[in-house]
Amino acid sequence: MQAYFQFHSKLDSFQLFSVAHLFTIGIILALCLLLFVIHNEVSKKQRILRFLLVFILFIADLLHHLWLIYENAWSIKKDLPLHLSDLAVFLAIVMLLTRNYKLFQFMYFAGIGSSIQAIITPDLGKFSFPHFQYFEFFILHGGVVLACLLIVVAFKFKPTHRSLWATILIVNLYAACVFFINKTIGSNYLYIIEKPGNASILNYLGPWPWYLLSMELVMILSFYILYSPYRGVSRRRR
């Protein structure tokens, strides 16, 4: 049992699209679809579901950092919540508590987009199933996606084309700030300085610094894919 909690794990390296990975993706997808299938019940019990998700996200993230500290592995260079998908966890908690529409519009694109990318191409190294970090990672990132979709189902919030481009602008301004943080403390948040060592989509986007431009285009494309269901609704209404 101890092997499943060690930071220097002796488990096999995480395998992209392994049976465990695909099964985990399937569970997250099923939960997302379930929100829409039982949308009436979700709307009636939205308060309970919101606070349940807040509790899960908060506890999971707290345990993650406590575990790193206990293992003497916490580092300012890699464990600050500066990756967009990590920052999205905190913003998801605020969004669930406040039901802020403007925050939702940002989270719909940046939160869901970054979390889906993390779920599909996770940077887990030796933390393969059934390591503690494996469960923690997917609970947090899957929880962000569920949080955004819960708000969609329960409150009928919708993203706009304007908020899509506002999110792109905010993400780029945030990336510029993170770049200077990286230079100051020698970190690689947002993978601006170099590519991650896993099977990330960044490994297919060219060398540094050109992959940063490719990453920008991928972000815009992914945001438009997320917006596409609402674009169709707007056209039918017109």
Residue 117 CA, distance from chain mean position: 7
Residues 21 and 138: their CA atoms lie apart, in Å, by 10
What is the pTM assigned to this prediction? 0.94
What is the torsional sign of CA 136, 146, 31, 84? negative
Contact 187, 181 (CB under 8 A): yes
Contact 83, 189 (CB under 8 A): yes
Residue 217 CA, distance from chain mean position: 18
Domain boundaries, the chain: 2-6+14-237
Which of 132, 87, 107 lies closest to 226 in space, CA to CA?
107
Q: For each of the chain's 238 residues, which pLDDT tens digit applies?
A: 778 999 988 889 899 999 999 999 999 999 999 999 999 999 999 999 999 999 999 999 999 999 999 999 999 999 999 999 999 999 999 999 999 999 999 999 999 999 999 999 898 988 999 999 999 999 999 999 999 999 999 999 999 999 999 999 999 999 999 999 999 999 999 999 988 766 567 777 778 788 899 999 999 999 999 999 998 655 555 4
